[in-house]
Structure 1
Amino acid sequence: MALVDRRAPEATVCPSEVARAIATTADAWRDAMPAVHAAVDGLVADGVVSLSWKGVPLAVRAGPYRIRRVLPE
């Protein structure tokens, strides 16, 4: 969420950016992707983030996607 919080409210984050931020070495980011996907699935279920790809909202994580904080209405 720290990466999302640093962006403009309507901006998105790539899940690989998150993986690179939590990876223990520069080459280990791919190993971190399953943890990122699991966390994203939980955040989507909790209504904290939403997903999209090329500006099109996604109901669930499938294929490439971007992460955005759900803004209060």
Structure 2
Amino acid sequence: MPTNRDIENCLLELLSRRAESSSICPSDVARTLAEDEAAWRALMPSVRRVAASLAREGCIVITQGDVTLDPSSIDQGPIRLQRGEKFRISK
């Protein structure tokens, strides 16, 4: 099972490979870290928690459509993750 650090590193790495204005789906992170559908779906709550933590730090921004979401309001519905003002690659 991937750790929060594994999830964070994967999320930041995927974003670093995209244009600065591009976004990723949280499931992109989960699918990268898990081999089958059941495993990546089980990772989704952890991916959202890590994303919320990174958003609180200003490292990423969480959006739903054209709306930027508060990190505490991302438990339901489709969201996208993109680089924030303090984006950095984790080591």
TM-score, with structure 2 as normaliser: 0.70
Q: Deviations over 1:21-72 (max 9, x none)?
A: 111x222110111210111011011110001112222223242210001146
Gaps (5+ residues) in structure 2? 1-11, 87-91
Aligned-residue CA RMSD (Å): 1.4
Distance change in 2, residues 1:38/1:22 (3 Å): same
Paired residue secondary structure (1:8): coil
Where do residues 26-45 of structure 1 align in structure 2 (5 Å cutoff)?
Answer: 26-27=36-37, 28-45=39-56
Gaps (5+ residues) in structure 1? none
TM-score, with structure 1 as normaliser: 0.85
Is 2:25 the counterpart of 1:14? yes
Count of aligned pairs: 71
Paired residue secondary structure (2:14): helix
Give the helix-richer structure, 1 or 2: 2
Aligned with 2:81 (options 53, 67, 71): 67
Measure the CA separation in 1 of the matches of 2:52 and 2:62. 10
